[in-house]
Amino acid sequence: MKIATWNINGVKARIDAATTWLKSAAPDIACLQEIKCADEAFPIQVFEDLGYNVAVHGQKGFNGVALLSKPPFDEVTPRLAGDPDDVQARYLEAVISVPSGALRLLNIYLPNGNPSGTKKFVYKLAWMSRLKERVKSLLALEEPLVIAGDFNVIPAPEDVYNPSAWMEDALFRPETRAHFQALLNLGLTDAFRACHDEPHRYTFWDYQAGAWQKNQGLRIDHLLLSPQAADRLVACEIDPAPRGWEKPSDHVPIFIELAV
């Protein structure tokens, strides 16, 4: 089974890129972030025509996550627990039946948090703490769990083109990286690092200053696996090709293959 994650940066603006990539790569499940539309405005029919069941947790003009799955959903739960006043659409959880049993997916669009030292950064860290508590409870179920999405976290210096330039950025602040490491310490596996040890492999290149042409990127989109999912990991790859297409997202897809 192939499971992909991609911050699409506006599903209406990238619909051609999205359908082109889905037809070519043919993931069984695709997690999209930053769809930037309300539920009723999401182009469900386009993806259903490609053979996907669709679940959406959207927000007009901002944020938003969507799940595309060829197998039907058994359960779908929007919103991250822990803060009833949080109205930002950043979390979508689903359970899907696979040949070996149940597979649980968390599709997340973690807050950016910039500028650091502001309420936005406090919100980011609090959101990460809430995510940790949810994951901790789910790991107790001892089932295959995949947490996919745009984490807005640069885990290590080898995941950014110029670490010194990012020291004060919320994506690379020590507090952010510590929260990410605490998540991994629950027993999760960074799928890409389990398959690749080479530095300077990126999932994001800014639109500004020729970042794509200069390969000045960041690895901030991740797939984290529970022990039961990690045991089934076959491969994990980043597909940089869509970043060079017309009207691209500033992120590219990353996907895993699991034996199910």
Determine which one of 52, 91, 109, 202 is catalytic.
109
Q: What's the rounded Cα separation, in Å, for the pair 26 and 45?
A: 17
Angle between helices 174-184 and 119-139 (to 10 degrees): 10
Question: What amino acid occupies position 225?
Answer: L
* Long-range pairs, 210-218, Cβ under 8 A, ≥24: 212/243, 212/244, 215/161, 216/161, 216/162, 217/160, 217/161, 218/154, 218/159, 218/160, 218/161, 218/166, 218/171
Q: Is 207 among the catalytic positions?
A: no
Report CA torsion sign: 60, 61, 65, 69.
Answer: positive
Q: Give every CB contact of residue 57 below 8 A, 6+ residues apart in sequence.
A: 39, 64, 65, 66, 78, 79, 89, 91, 92
Q: Is 197 among the catalytic positions?
A: no
Determine which one of 28, 150, 169, 250 is catalytic.
150
CA dist list (Å): 3 to 24, 47, 81: 14, 16, 24
The backbone torsions φ and ψ at residue 217, rounded to the nearest 5 degrees and listed phi first, read -120, 180
Catalytic positions, written as ranges: 109, 150
